[in-house]
């Protein structure tokens, strides 16, 4: 059998009236003899048959049959057309129809040889030279087999070069069966993969007079035509994996990050519920997070150093008190207070704010490995508590957030969000970076990028205060001195907040003068509430700065209240005859003198 590689073969059979019935039978036998020695199949050699006279008839295409028995059955059922001899028309049909991928021909990039075997006994009644040239240029190799009365010039005009290997003339129909064996040897030739050093990395496919290389499934042939490279099925981005795509020999599989498992759809990922394992030992509540869990206490309780048990504590640290500035615990209760210059509102929680208090605030938070996931969640809550102190709006206070570890990442710039709710939601969506502690690099990023007008900082000419808050839990792995100095020299008011193993020397180097008012420290993440209380920002510009002169909203009010209360007390004492008239006159004079002194200071 011919096993030198797959072929796409189409027999083009002359069934004109000059071919007598018994002669047509020998042509049937010729085709079946050739087919009987071919390795046929969908991935081997494919065979099609068309007959022609004055018209062309498709007997079966390259995609119709893949067994010799089916092909022989179809060949035996052919009824000759018995009309003219339009060989050119038949070649055009083979080129435009029979050898198309729609009819079963393999795509050109697979380099499967396309072979047309034309068997005729007469002179064509149409032109064949031009259409045969087009067919050969389209990659079809043409064998021209003439029988008895065939015209040699026409055979040579149709066949592919070299003509001595593609043109055959048989003296009679009786000899065509003997010729079939000779033609079979010519068609199959030798196994070129065995005869030559092919150099194919995976497999060699022999074709008549040549060969080509093929790659195993999951690989593609390189431009050298010999070596193979794995197909990266993830590269086109259509895999749909939620976390990671892993290419495997032309296919892919989805994988999840640590702390997640692959869902049933094999693409999305679900966080592992570590609390459901039942071995967390939390006294109150267990909270699952990627890569583990942490314990949480009920309202009014504090998590102990063993990170599992809880102990009752003051209500300010145990409940969501909602105080905007500071919560003060009392016996069995609590109340909210406001910073100096602000008054508690009727809701008992919020404080009056200076409407002209416009600042650009960038918070730089430590996302290094030492912080740990559960503490990073507390850091985000700390940030949102600070946001609650501010009046956020496009023309009021703007807030930006930067996270750093071994690298620096802007979570959102100053011009990203325009309300406190938007900022707080974005903060809770921030993902923990882990790795190192490059505080100096973070300060450099803050100075060069975060406070740029491109990222939303108002121009210096607007006199909007620029405030930087750096939060860290350990010693920096790079030098901070230069960029801490540059930050302050560029007009940024720097606050430093340290927790746990934070180095006081570094905190002081970051903080603006007076240092004691610009740095805070807490020994533990769970007791950071007082740091928010200490971070009492004066968001009102000093008098005379900027476009609007701002004065204390409480100054006049306090004076009026003082005068009213004093007069009321004096009147009460007079009515009770406790004071003499001269004493009352003296005290009234002193009150008027005090009012005059206050007015002069104005």
**DSSP letters along 91-150, please?**
HHHIIIIITSGGGTPPPGGG---EEEEEEESS--SS--HHHHHHHHHTTEEEEEEEETT-
Kindly tell me the burial class for residue 227, based on how many C-beta atoms sit within 10 Å of its own C-beta (0-12, 13-18, 19 or more): middle
**Contact criterion met (CB below 8 Å) for 219 and 229:** yes
Over residues 441-491, the pLDDT tens digits come to 999 999 999 999 999 999 988 888 899 999 998 888 999 999 999 999 999
Sign of CA dihedral 126, 129, 133, 135: positive
What is the set of domains in the chain, with CATH numbers?
7-188 (3.40.50.410), 277-312 (2.10.25.10), 313-354 (2.10.25.10), 360-539 (3.40.50.410)
Low-confidence ranges of the chain (pLDDT < 70): 1-5, 172-191, 208-209, 300, 313, 318, 331-332, 340-343, 352-357, 527-592, 594-602
Angle at 61 between CA 56 and CA 67, to 5 degrees: 135
Q: Dmax of the chain from CA atoms?
A: 157
pLDDT at 172: 66
Question: For residues 54 and 84, what is the distance between their CA atoms, to the nearest angstrom?
Answer: 4
Instruction: Give 101-116 pLDDT, tens digit per residue.
Output: 999 999 998 888 899 9
pLDDT of residue 581: 47
C-alpha to C-alpha distance for 301 and 311, rounded to whole angstroms: 5
E strands in 370-483: 398-404, 408-412, 466-472
Q: Which residues neighbour 330 within 8 Å (Cβ) at sequence distance 6 or greater?
A: none
pTM strictly above 0.75 = no
Strands (E), 346-442: 360-366, 398-404, 408-412
Please tell me the predicted confidence (pLDDT) of residue 301: 79
Q: What angle do CA 5, 57, 89 make, to 5 degrees?
A: 85
**What pLDDT is attached to residue 592?**
67
């Amino acid at each position: 059998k011919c096993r030198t590689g797959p072929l796409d073969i189409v027999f083009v059979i002359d069934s004109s009236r000059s071919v007598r019935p018994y002669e047509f039978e020998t042509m049937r036998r010729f085709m079946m003899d050739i087919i009987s020695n071919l390795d046929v199949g969908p991935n081997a050699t494919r065979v099609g048959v068309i007959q022609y006279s004055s018209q062309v008839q498709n007997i079966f295409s390259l995609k119709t049959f893949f067994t010799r028995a089916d092909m022989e059955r179809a060949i035996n059922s052919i009824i000759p057309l018995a009309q003219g001899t339009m060989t050119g028309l038949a070649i055009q049909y083979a080129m435009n129809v029979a050898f198309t991928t729609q009819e079963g021909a393999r795509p050109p990039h697979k380099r499967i040889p396309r072979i047309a075997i034309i068997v005729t006994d007469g002179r064509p009644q149409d032109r064949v030279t031009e259409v045969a040239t087009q067919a050969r240029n389209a990659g079809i190799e043409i064998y021209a087999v003439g029988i008895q009365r065939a015209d040699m010039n026409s055979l040579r005009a149709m066949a592919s070069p070299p003509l001595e290997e593609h043109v055959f003339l048989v003296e009679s129909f009786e000899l065509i069966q003997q010729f079939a064996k000779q033609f079979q040897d010519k068609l199959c030739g030798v196994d070129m993969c065995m005869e030559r050093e092919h150099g194919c990395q995976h497999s060699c496919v022999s074709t008549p007079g040549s060969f080509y290389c093929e790659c195993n499934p999951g690989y593609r042939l390189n431009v050298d035509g010999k070596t193979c490279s794995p197909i990266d099925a993830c590269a086109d981005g259509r895999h749909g994996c939620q976390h990671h795509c892993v290419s495997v020999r032309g296919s892919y599989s989805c994988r999840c990050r640590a702390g997640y498992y692959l869902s049933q759809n094999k693409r999305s990922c679900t966080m592992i519920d570590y609390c459901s394992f039942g071995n967390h030992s939390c006294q109150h509540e267990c909270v699952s997070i990627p890569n583990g869990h942490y314990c949480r206490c009920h309202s009014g309780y504090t998590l102990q150093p063993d990170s599992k048990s809880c102990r009752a504590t003051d209500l300010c640290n145990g409940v969501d008190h909602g105080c905007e500035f500071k919560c003060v615990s009392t016996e069995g209760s609590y109340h909210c207070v406001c910073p100096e210059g602000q008054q508690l509102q009727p809701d008992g929680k919020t404080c009056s704010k200076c409407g002209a208090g416009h600042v650009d605030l960038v918070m730089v938070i430590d996302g290094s490995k030492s912080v740990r996931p559960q503490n990073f969640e507390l850091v985000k809550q700390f940030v949102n508590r600070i946001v609650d102190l501010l009046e956020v709006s496009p023309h009021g206070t703007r807030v930006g957030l930067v996270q750093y570890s071994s690298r620096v990442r802007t979570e959102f710039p100053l011009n990203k969000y325009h309300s406190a709710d938007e900022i707080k939601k974005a903060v809770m969506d921030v993902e923990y970076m882990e790795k190192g502690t490059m505080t100096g690099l973070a300060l450099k990023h803050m100075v060069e990028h975060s406070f740029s007008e491109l990222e939303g900082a108002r121009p210096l000419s607007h006199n909007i205060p620029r405030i930087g808050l750096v939060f860290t839990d350990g010693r920096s792995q790079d030098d901070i001195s230069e960029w801490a100095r540059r930050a302050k020299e560029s007009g940024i008011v720097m606050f430093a907040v340290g927790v746990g193993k934070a180095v006081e020397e570094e905190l002081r180097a970051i903080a603006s003068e007076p240092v004691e008012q610009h740095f805070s420290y807490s020994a533990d993440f769970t007791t950071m509430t007082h740091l928010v209380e200490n971070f009492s920002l004066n968001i009102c510009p000093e008098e005379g700065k900027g476009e609007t002169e701002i004065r204390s909203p409480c100054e006049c009010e306090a004076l009026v209240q003082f005068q009213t209360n004093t007069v009321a007390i004096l009147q009460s004492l007079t009515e009770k005859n406790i004071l003499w008239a001269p004493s009352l006159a003296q005290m009234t004079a002193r009150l008027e003198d005090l009012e005059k002194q206050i007015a002069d200071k104005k």
